[in-house]
């Protein structure tokens, strides 16, 4: 295999969808496995759809995931510029070359001309008419006009485009690494515009030229580009160039398994479909981001790597290095992959659990400060150690474990009514006194003191432990109670219990009234 060179070539028309991230990931993994080069190319030939900020968003997203290009805008490289809008002067000569070879032609049609052609063809029973071998002869182009008429219109410089001249009666065969041999009939293809009136190339033209000049060896992209590949292969043939290897990736489907995952599905199903938060100024809508929603980039990478690729065994957890070693284009599946919301949360939980406590503490420190709590680093490290197996995303550390910082204002009254008995109040007062007298307020000492009291007074654990947890935490959910009490601290635990016991008694009296 020659030196592998692959490119991820997004358009800066908005935020980077998770499907685009997967395309970038597969390109990155393939390049790294084969000692090749991963290139970022910004395909911004359609300036009417350009969205300010989206190019920076794309780069920030790739870097958050660790998919850093070796070449691209801002990264350097010997094959630049890497923005197509900065390569405008390159494309014209190649389009002209195809015209001179008879593989393309000048067109001067207006939008009204095109609309009339489609209407005329519809009258003849041909719906969804194409600009092709059937219609090009009745249109205003250098194939239907005389040389002098063509030159006159070229001199005027109005409505000039260049279209590819698709040959008739050809079967175009493509050997796709994912789908095997794919055949297209040329009579079903349209004469696509390759150079627009403003001198900018269309995607099809720029894509071919840039891939050739940047020496791209493998094109790995979404299956939506498969129908266009017939045009691309023909252009390679027309230029006399060797095409790259093609791999077209399956769709990422909605959680229901029906239809392509869209940006609106995230809002509908309550999960992000973009790497980072994105404000759509036209819609005045902010879309969720995996980063802001508390996902670890390694977890999302692991999850999306399996959306369309099968490692060939039951292994699910992969580090980036393991993914690089295991990745193989032959194991990309043809069918669409369903986006499983529960699965991505599960992956994130597994990565949270395996992340060092000190690292997790750093991750949530800002959130804790934003809520107005000033605690030590040691406190946070112990806190995440206790909570990490109980959360799936980072914000849940605080939403599920906020009682470590402050006694919740609301307690689970239903459980209090069920578990608390007024006649046990003296036992809880006595336990409070015992805790006040403790010299070492450690989890082991607490366990010994409380369990000893229960045994000595022949009480049931069910009569005491739930009320202790409710009294300290306000909820029945949480990590080990004794470790929780140690971290919260002696004075605060006793204060909470005294306050809570008064609330429990009031709740019970109201129930019995």
Q: Which residues of 385-424 are buried (b: 16+ CB within 10 A; e: fewer)?
A: bbbbebbbbbebbbebbbbbbebeeebbeeebeebbeeeb
Question: 481, 465 in Cβ contact below 8 A?
Answer: yes
Contact by Cβ (8 Å): 289, 30 = no
CA–CA distance from 459 to each of 55, 382, 418, 438, 449 (Å)? 66, 31, 17, 21, 14
DSSP assignment of 363-402 equals: HHHHHHHHTT----HHHHHHHHHHHGGG-SSTTHHHHHHG
Q: Quick check: 229 and 246 in contact, CB under 8 A?
A: yes
From the candidates 263, 382, 388, 419, give the one annotated as an active-site residue. 263
Annotated catalytic residue 263: yes
Give the integer Cα–Cα distance in Å for 311 and 331. Answer: 7
The token duo for 167 is 């040959």
Backbone φ and ψ of 287, nearest 5°: -95, 140
Asked whether 230 and 171 are in contact (CB, 8 A), the reply is no
Map 235-283 to HEC letters.
Answer: HHHHHCCCCCEEEEECCEECCCCCCECCHHHHHHHCCCCECCCEEECCC
| Residue 417: C-alpha distances to residues 421, 431, 468, 499 (Å) | 8, 20, 14, 16
The torsion region of residue 348 among left (phi > 0), alpha (psi -120 to 50) and beta comes to alpha
The tokens for 135 are 């219609």
How far is the C-alpha of 184 from the C-alpha of 172, rounded, in Å?
Answer: 5
Contacts of 502 (CB under 8 A, 6+ apart): none
Pairing of strands 37-40, 5-8: parallel
379 CA to centre of own chain: 33
Annotated catalytic sites, by residue?
Answer: 263
């Amino acid at each position: 295999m020659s030196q592998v060179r692959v490119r991820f070539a997004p358009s800066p028309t908005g935020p980077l969808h998770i499907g685009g991230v997967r395309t970038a990931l597969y390109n990155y993994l393939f390049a790294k496995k084969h000692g090749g080069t991963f290139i970022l190319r910004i395909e911004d030939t359609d300036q009417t759809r350009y969205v300010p900020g989206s190019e920076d968003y794309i780069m920030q997203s790739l870097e958050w995931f660790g998919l850093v290009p070796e070449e691209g805008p801002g990264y350097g490289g010997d094959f630049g510029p890497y923005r197509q809008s900065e390569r405008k002067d390159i494309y014209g000569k190649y389009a002209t070359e195809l015209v001179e070879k008879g593989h393309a032609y000048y067109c001067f049609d207006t939008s009204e001309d095109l609309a009339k052609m489609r209407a005329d063809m519809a009258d003849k029973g041909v719906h969804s008419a194409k600009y092709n071998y059937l219609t090009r002869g009745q249109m205003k182009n250098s194939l239907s006009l005389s040389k002098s008429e063509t030159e006159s219109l070229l001199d005027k410089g109005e409505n000039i485009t260049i279209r590819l001249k698709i040959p008739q009666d050809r079967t175009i065969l493509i050997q796709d690494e994912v789908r095997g041999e794919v055949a297209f009939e040329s009579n079903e293809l349209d004469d696509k515009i390759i150079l627009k009136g403003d001198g900018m190339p269309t995607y099809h033209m720029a894509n071919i030229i840039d891939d050739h000049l940047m020496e791209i060896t493998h094109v790995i992209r979404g299956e939506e580009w498969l129908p266009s590949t017939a045009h691309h292969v023909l252009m390679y043939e027309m230029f006399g160039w060797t095409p790259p290897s093609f791999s077209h990736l399956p769709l990422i489907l909605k959680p229901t398994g029906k239809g392509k995952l869209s940006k609106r599905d995230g809002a509908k199903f309550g999960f992000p479909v973009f790497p980072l938060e994105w404000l759509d100024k036209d819609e005045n809508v902010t879309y969720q981001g995996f980063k802001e929603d508390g996902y670890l980039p390694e977890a999302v990478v692991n999850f999306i790597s399996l959306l369309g690729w099968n490692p060939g065994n039951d292994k699910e957890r992969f580090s980036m290095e393991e993914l690089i070693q295991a990745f193989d284009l032959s194991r990309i599946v043809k069918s669409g992959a369903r986006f499983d919301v529960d699965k991505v949360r599960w992956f994130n939980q597994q990565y949270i659990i395996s992340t060092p406590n000190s690292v997790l503490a750093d991750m949530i420190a800002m959130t804790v400060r934003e809520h107005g709590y000033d605690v030590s680093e040691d406190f946070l490290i112990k806190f995440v150690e206790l909570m990490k197996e109980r959360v799936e995303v980072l914000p849940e550390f605080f939403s599920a474990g906020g009682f470590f910082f402050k006694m919740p204002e609301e307690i689970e009254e239903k459980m209090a009514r069920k578990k608390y008995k007024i006649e046990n109040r003296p036992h809880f007062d006595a336990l409070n006194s015992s805790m006040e007298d403790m010299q070492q307020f450690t989890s082991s000492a607490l366990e010994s003191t409380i369990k000893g009291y229960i045994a000595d007074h022949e009480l049931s654990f069910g009569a005491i432990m739930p009320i202790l947890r409710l009294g300290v935490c306000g909820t029945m959910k949480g990590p080990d109670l004794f470790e929780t009490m140690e971290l919260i601290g002696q004075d605060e635990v006793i204060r909470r219990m005294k306050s809570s016991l008064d609330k429990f008694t009031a709740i019970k009296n109201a129930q019995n009234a």
